[in-house]
Chain A
C-alpha cells in the first residue's frame, strides 16, 4: 500500500523554465512533508519542507505547495538549471506518532540545456 505516490517517474524540462514535481498522499495523519534530491551514487540531500499548518514554503528557486484537502503537494523549481537534474523524492511524516518518513518512488528530473 503506497501511502506516498509520485506518479511521474520522469520529467524533462528546458533550462530556464519551471519544473513542477508532484506528490500525492493517502494518510490523513501526515502533517509534515519534505523533498529530497538525489544524485547517482550519493545519498539523498534535504531540499525543502512544509508543515501542514502552511500551504506554501519558499527557499530561493524552490517552492513547495501543499493542498491538504486534495492530499497533494508540489515542488516548483524556477528557473531550472542543469545542476537540478537528479531524482527527487517526496516524503511524509506523522510527527505525533514517531519520526519515521514514508517516501515516494521518486521522479527523475532532466534539465535540457
Chain B
C-alpha cells in the first residue's frame, strides 16, 4: 500500500512565523503535490514537483515556497504566515495520474 505521511495533523502558528510542512512518501513516486482545501473552494494546487530539486507553481503559489531535496520528501514553506493561510493542507504523490494523499495538516494562524 502507498503511504504518504505528513509531519503534523494539527498546527497552530502566529502571524509572521515561518512554517514548515513536511511530507514523505514511501512508494518511490516521481510526482509530489501540495494542495490546500477550503470550504466551498475544493482542493487548490499550490506547488508540485516532478523530480528532485524540481518544482513548478500551481494555481495559488503566492506566499508559499517548496523544497524537494530527496525523492521521498516534499516540504511546503510559509515564509511569513498570515491568517488567510489558515487551512487544511494536503500532500499527495503519484506515479501516473492517480494521486495518493496524506492525512492532511490542519494549520491555524492566529
A residues apposed to B, CB below 8 Å: 6, 9, 32, 34, 36, 41-46, 49, 89, 91, 93, 95, 98-101, 103-106
Contact with A along B54-97 (1 / 0, CB 8 A): 00001000000000000000000000000000000010101011
Which applies to chain A's interface (DSSP): helix, strand, loop or mixed? loop
* Cβ–Cβ contact B104 & A41, under 8 A: yes
Q: Which residues of B contact A44 (CB under 8 A)?
A: 43, 90, 101
Which applies to chain B's interface (DSSP): helix, strand, loop or mixed? strand
The smallest beta-carbon distance between B32 and chain A, in angstroms, is: 11
* Cβ–Cβ contact A42 & B104, under 8 A: yes
Q: Which residues of A contact B102 (CB under 8 A)?
A: 43
| C-alpha gap A87/B106 in the complex (Å) | 17
Interface residue tally for chain B (C-beta within 8 Å): 27
From A1, which residue of chain B is reached at the shortest CB distance?
A: B59
* Cβ–Cβ contact B106 & A41, under 8 A: yes
Pairs across A and B, CB under 8 Å, 24 listed: A34-B98, A41-B9, A41-B103, A41-B104, A42-B103, A43-B4, A43-B103, A43-B104, A44-B90, A44-B101, A46-B98, A46-B100, A49-B98, A89-B43, A91-B43, A99-B31, A100-B33, A100-B58, A101-B97, A103-B35, A104-B42, A105-B40, A105-B41, A105-B42
B residues apposed to A, CB below 8 Å: 4, 9, 31, 33, 35, 40-45, 48, 50, 58, 90, 92, 94, 96-104, 106
| C-alpha gap A99/B99 in the complex (Å) | 9
| C-alpha gap A104/B103 in the complex (Å) | 19
Q: Which residues of B contact A32 (CB under 8 A)?
A: 97
Q: Which residues of A contact B98 (CB under 8 A)?
A: 34, 46, 49
Q: Which residues of B contact A6 (CB under 8 A)?
A: 42
* Cβ–Cβ contact B42 & A101, under 8 A: no
| C-alpha gap A99/B35 in the complex (Å) | 14
| C-alpha gap A106/B43 in the complex (Å) | 9
Q: Which residues of A contact B31 (CB under 8 A)?
A: 99
Q: Which residues of A contact B48 (CB under 8 A)?
A: 100
**List of 6 A-B pairs having minimum Cβ-Cβ separation, nearest first:** A43-B101, A105-B42, A103-B43, A103-B42, A93-B97, A44-B101
